[in-house]
């Protein structure tokens, strides 16, 4: 992988990850949930509850989310760079990747690792947030020079 693909993948992942954070922030505000609930639930997926509820729980959750987002962005750009940069191709790849990740995460991984996440974040909200992530990456890829 060349440096340009890596750089653009990191940027695409950061844009996607941040767009998801913004959307989820609106969701917890509208749903009157704890503003840091999702970050703690992400941490709880990888660490014991005591860590997730501790002083580093929020920071770790955001770090984990963004770290995974950067990896997704790099993977996305590795696939997307082989196709024309037209929005239709970028959207097809971005949405396909992120919705596949949503399905695996929501129906395979989380039920066995962190049921609390599923009980706090409805499937539709998680689906929409992953869709936004894919759209944000696709938009970046198709409009960059």
Q: What is the pLDDT of residue 87?
A: 75
List, for the chain, all residue ranges whose pLDDT scores fall below the cut of 70: 85, 145
Q: How wide is the angle at C-alpha 20 spanned by C-alphas 111 and 49, nearest 5°?
A: 40
Q: What is the pLDDT of residue 85?
A: 66
Q: What is the pLDDT of residue 135?
A: 92
Q: What is the pLDDT of residue 103?
A: 94
How many C-beta atoms lie closer than 10 Å to residue 128's C-beta? Answer: 16
Q: What is the pLDDT of residue 78?
A: 86
Q: What is the pLDDT of residue 1?
A: 76
Q: What is the pLDDT of residue 145?
A: 62
Q: What is the pLDDT of residue 4?
A: 87
C-alpha to C-alpha distance for 117 and 85, rounded to whole angstroms: 35
Q: Are 74 and 13 in contact (CB under 8 A)?
A: yes
Q: What is the per-residue burial (b if ≥16 Cβ within 10 Å, else e) of 52-86? A: beeeebbebbbebbbeebbebbbebbeebeeeeee
């Amino acid at each position: 992988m060349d440096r340009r693909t890596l750089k653009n993948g990191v940027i695409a992942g950061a844009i996607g990850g941040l767009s998801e954070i913004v959307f989820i922030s609106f969701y917890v505000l509208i749903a009157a949930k704890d503003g840091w609930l999702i970050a703690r639930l992400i941490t709880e997926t990888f660490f014991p509850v005591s860590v997730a509820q501790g002083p580093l729980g929020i920071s770790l959750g955001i770090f984990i989310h963004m770290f995974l987002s950067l990896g997704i962005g790099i993977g996305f750009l590795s696939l997307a760079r082989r196709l024309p940069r037209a929005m239709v191709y970028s959207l097809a790849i971005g949405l396909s990747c992120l919705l596949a990740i949503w399905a695996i995460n929501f129906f395979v991984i989380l039920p066995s690792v962190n049921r609390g996440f599923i009980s706090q974040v409805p499937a539709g909200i998680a689906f929409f947030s992953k869709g936004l992530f894919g759209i944000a990456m696709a938009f970046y890829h198709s409009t960059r020079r």
